Amino acid sequence: MSAQLIDGKQIAAAIREEIKAEVEEMNAGTGKVPGLATVLVGTRKDSQTYVRMKKKACKKAGIASFGHDLPEDISQEELLKIVRELNANNDVHGILVQLPLPDHIDEETILGAINLEKDVDGFHPINIGRLSMKRREPLFVPCTPKGCIELLDRTGVEIEGKRAVVLGRSNIVGLPVAMLLLHRNATVSICHSRTNDLPGVVREADILVAAVGRAEMVRGDWVKPGVVVIDVGMNAIDDPTSERGYRLTGDVAFDEVKEVASAITPVPGGVGPMTIAMLLRNTTDSAKHYLKIV
Ligand code: NDP
């Protein structure tokens, strides 16, 4: 069997078009557009690339961006002051502090200072707390986990009652995606580096979300026939045949697993494009909430 390809690029493009239309309608009705502030500290190349991609995506959707590129040695107080200014700016509906922050800055203090109603990255401790509790709704859900669920929904995959296995328990991906699956009434197992018999647990999955950061770790004989696979992993592996000298691969051995699964995301082109689409979604929802548009 060869699995259905879950095309994240195509699904994300459709979502971005939906958002663009909503933004045009908002602008026509209120004269306002959603605004996203990105806060980048330091000169990490990967963080610079992510922020640039986010600004570009905003522009294409008609969302205003407010960029703060700050020096590596900025003090925590100065950074807090900028976050508070953005909290008070009525044209800013979402604030994204690009992680990781330098070691001298306490991440939780900064994330906790973001106005809850502008926490479009969903990492405010209160939003994470609500996500982890029964019958509590966070205002915003972190973008990559939200993108995983959106891929399942838009592919017509039933979640309720299914056995879901999440590989990885990070605050950014593994834990929140497990919580979202649980809220949708899946029966969830969370695996990590100390899990015994990982292939045995993975084999129980109807839905597998892999977020470990280990290239092609999940093999074809680890999965049950018909499993739906969401591969969050993004690993650069050496490839002398590629112009860049490396290629990107997921946590799942795609060529093997696609012969057993019923549906699978590719890497690249699966979860990656969904992360930015969900950021635009959260920012637009925040602006609608602020402007009282239902
Ligand atoms: P982390 O390194 O924070 O977490 C990795 C998790 O995997 C940990 O819980 C760790 O266990 C577990 N783990 C590591 N090795 C093994 C192993 N051999 N067996 C079982 N479990 C293992 O990574 P992130 O969650 O931040 O990212 C995971 C992957 O997703 C990365 O490849 C990253 O690049 C990608 N990613 C992609 C995004 C996208 O937009 N597509 C966005 C964010 C991340 P333990 O807790 O015990 O240490």
The pLDDT tens digits for 147-204 are: 999 999 999 999 999 999 999 999 999 999 999 999 999 999 999 999 999 999 999 9
Range of the domain at 239: 143-272
pLDDT per residue as tens digits for the range 97-136: 999 999 999 999 999 999 999 999 999 999 999 999 998 9
**Pairing label, strands 207-210, 163-167:** parallel
Q: In 62-116, which ranges are continuous DSSP H helix?
A: 76-88, 107-113
Does a structural domain hold residue 158?
yes
Q: Average pLDDT for residues 11-23, to the nearest whole number?
A: 98
Residue 1 pLDDT class (50, 70, 90 cuts): low
Question: What is the rounded distance in angstroms from the CA atom of residue 173 to the CA atom of residue 252?
Answer: 16
φ, ψ for residue 227 (rounded to 5)? -60, 150
Q: State whether 72 and 169 are in the same domain.
A: no
List of residues 6+ apart from 46 with CB closer than 8 A: none
Q: For residue 200, give the 3-state DSSP assignment.
A: helix
The active-site residue, picked from 7, 121, 206, 285, is 121
The verdict on residue 137 lying in a domain is no
For the segment 87-105, what is each residue's pLDDT rounded down to a tens digit?
999 999 999 999 999 999 9
212 CA distance to ligand 1 middle (Å): 3
Q: Which residue has its alpha carbon closest to ligand 1 atom 31? A: 213
Catalytic status, residue 76 = no
Active site residue 10: no
**Exposure on the CB side of residue 87, measured as CA atoms within 13 A:** 15
Residue 179 resides in a domain: yes
CA distance 157 to 102: 40
Domain identity same for 96 and 206: no
In a domain, 26, yes or no: no
Rg (the chain; Cα; Å): 19
CA angle, 255 then 260 then 261, to 5°: 95
265 and 162 part of one domain = yes
- Residue 121 alpha carbon to ligand 1 centre in Å: 18
- For residue 293, the CA-to-ligand 1 centroid distance in Å is 37
181 and 250 in a single domain? The answer is yes
Residue nearest to atom 3 of ligand 1 (CA): 170
pLDDT (tens digit per residue) in 262-288: 999 999 999 999 999 999 999 999 999
Running DSSP on this structure, what letter comes out for residue 293?
-
Residue 171 within any structural domain of the chain: yes
Mean pLDDT of the region 17-22: 98
Phi, psi of 36, rounded to the nearest 5 degrees: -120, 125
Residue nearest to atom 47 of ligand 1 (CA): 193
* Strands of the 163-167 sheet, one edge to the other: 4-5, 263-264, 228-231, 207-210, 163-167, 187-191
The atom of ligand 1 lying closest to the CA of 213 is 32
Which residue out of 177, 189, 193 has the highest number of ligand 1 atoms within 8 Å of its CB and is therefore the one to mutate?
193
Cα–Cα distance, 57 to 200 (Å, whole number): 41
Respond yes or no: is residue 98 known to be catalytic.
yes
CA distance 202 to 173: 17
**170, 218, 235, 271: which to mutate for ligand 1, most atoms within 8 A of CB?**
170
Q: How far apart are the first and last CA of the chain?
A: 44
Query: Per the domain annotation, does 291 fall within a domain?
Result: no
102 within domain boundaries: yes
Going from the Cα of 292 to the center of ligand 1, the distance in angstroms, rounded, reads: 38
CATH number at residue 78: 3.40.50.10860
For the segment 207-228, what is each residue's pLDDT rounded down to a tens digit? 999 999 999 999 999 999 999 9
On whether both 110 and 223 belong to a single domain, the answer is no
Catalytic residue among 54, 118, 162, 258: 54
Has residue 123 been placed in a domain?
Answer: no
- Looking from the CA of residue 195, the nearest atom of ligand 1 is 20
Supply the mean pLDDT for the chain. 97
Q: Are residues 170 and 233 in the same domain?
A: yes
Residues 105, 43 share a domain: yes
Please tell me whether residues 156 and 229 are part of one structural domain: yes
Distance CA 40, CA 48 (A): 7
Whether residue 264 sits in one domain with residue 168: yes
Domain count, the chain: 2
Side-chain-side CA neighbours of 168 within 13 Å: the count stands at 22
Pocket of ligand 1 (CB under 6 A): 144, 167-170, 172-174, 191-195, 198, 211-214, 232-235, 271-272, 275
